[in-house]
Amino acid sequence: MYFASDNAGPVHPEVLASLTRANEGYAMPYGADDGMGRVRAQIREIFEAPNAMVHLVATGTAANSLALACMCQPFETVFCSSVAHIHEDECSAPEFYAGGAKLTIVTCDVDKMSPKALRATIAAEGTRGVHGPQRGPVSITQVAEKGSVHTLDELKALVEVAKEFDLPVHLDGARFANAMAALGCTAAEMSWKLGIDAVSFGGTKNGLMGVEAVVFFDPKKSWEFELRRKRGAHLFSKVRFLAAQMEAYLTDDLWLNSARKANANMVRLSNGLRGLAGTEFLAEPDANMVFAKMPRAAHKRLQDGGAVYYIMGGSVEGDDPDEQLLCRLVCDWSISEVQIDQFISLAAG
């Protein structure tokens, strides 16, 4: 019963098989291999963007930080939500790779920025001339940090605000496939067709060993990314092993099927928890992640029964069995229905 993170799940067998095939013989290094060429073509086809530039890195932090560095001058600021991964979970890497550019936080109710709040925050920045940071890119997380998925209309509204100020837009898509599966849309509809300029296209949380793609819809940024990736020590010599993972991921819709399975697992889990006494959701689970409050007694039963997940800001050790503690539950493609039903049974008591 492992619900701690979709980073913790196994690598998909088809990805491992692709890595084994890539390990045969020799291939040119630094992205000059045939596999990288095929991946580039696959992503361009998926995004319906024949001129898009595609680069692979090993981590989501590298994808976000290097992409934003190409979109932001050191004297500018990136606008993001108060719970954005680049703000809370990347150890100031975006600021570091952007040469000291700062982050400006847009308040949000749960995990989504509103167009009104974004507009007000942008308008308040860049007003002090040489004495203050200048306005830079807007970064949006999809799936958002508490499990919500921005609708296409919501994304469009945020992008339109950014474009009012002539600012580029970055999409942190660590769970891009989960969001697409939830919305039933295409990659193009959730990116450049809305005006988004660059996407961090995630794979590690959805069955890959460790690879993310950065997709620029403006080819002019490609060479700068190459240089920043090398200077930042994120250029693999044996890129073929990154490409082999991504190629398997994108073949026969493995990426979407895995995301659909993860989302379906969360539907099963959340439906089972929904009616339990003392259980409430912080936000409606749109994809594969939910934040839920449950009584301490339920958490104690779950953890004693072997369930693994995060409790946020509390402990099962306490005197009040009815006190509600917030937890994060994440499903990946590999979790079985048996594990989900066992978790629900223990929570119910």
* DSSP state at residue 12: P
Confidence of residue 38 (pLDDT cuts 50, 70, 90): very high
Average pLDDT on 107-121 reads 96
* Whole-number Å distance between alpha carbons of 339 and 346: 11
Contact 269, 331 (CB under 8 A): yes
pLDDT band at 206 (very low <50, low <70, confident <90, very high): very high
The CATH fold assigned to 13-252 is: Aspartate Aminotransferase; domain 2 (3.40.640)
Q: Where are the domains of the chain?
A: 13-252, 255-348
Question: Fold match between 13-252 and 255-348?
Answer: no
User: At 344, phi and psi to the nearest 5?
Assistant: -65, -40
3-state secondary structure 329-345: EECCCCCCHHHHHHHHH
> What local confidence, expressed as pLDDT, does residue 70 receive?
98
Q: Is 0.85 surpassed by the pTM of this model?
A: yes
Are the C-beta atoms of residues 304 and 166 closer than 8 Å to each other?
A: no
Domain 255-348, CATH homologous superfamily name and number: Aspartate Aminotransferase, domain 1 (3.90.1150.10)
User: What pLDDT, in 10s, does the model give residues 216-262?
Assistant: 999 999 999 999 999 999 999 999 999 999 999 999 999 999 999 99
The confidence score (pLDDT) of residue 275 equals 86
pLDDT of residue 316: 86
Q: What is the pLDDT of residues 328-348, one digit of tens each?
A: 999 999 999 999 999 999 999
From residue 42, how far is each of 39, 53, 57, 249 by CA, in Å? 5, 12, 17, 10
156-187 pLDDT, tens digit per residue, is: 999 999 999 999 999 999 999 999 999 999 99
Residue 32 burial (C-beta neighbours within 10 Å; 0-12, 13-18, 19+): exposed
Average pLDDT of the residues in 297-303:
95
Cβ(211)–Cβ(246) under 8 Å? yes
DSSP label of 66: H
pLDDT band (50, 70, 90) for residue 142: very high
| Number of other residues whose CB lies within 10 A of the CB of residue 10 | 12
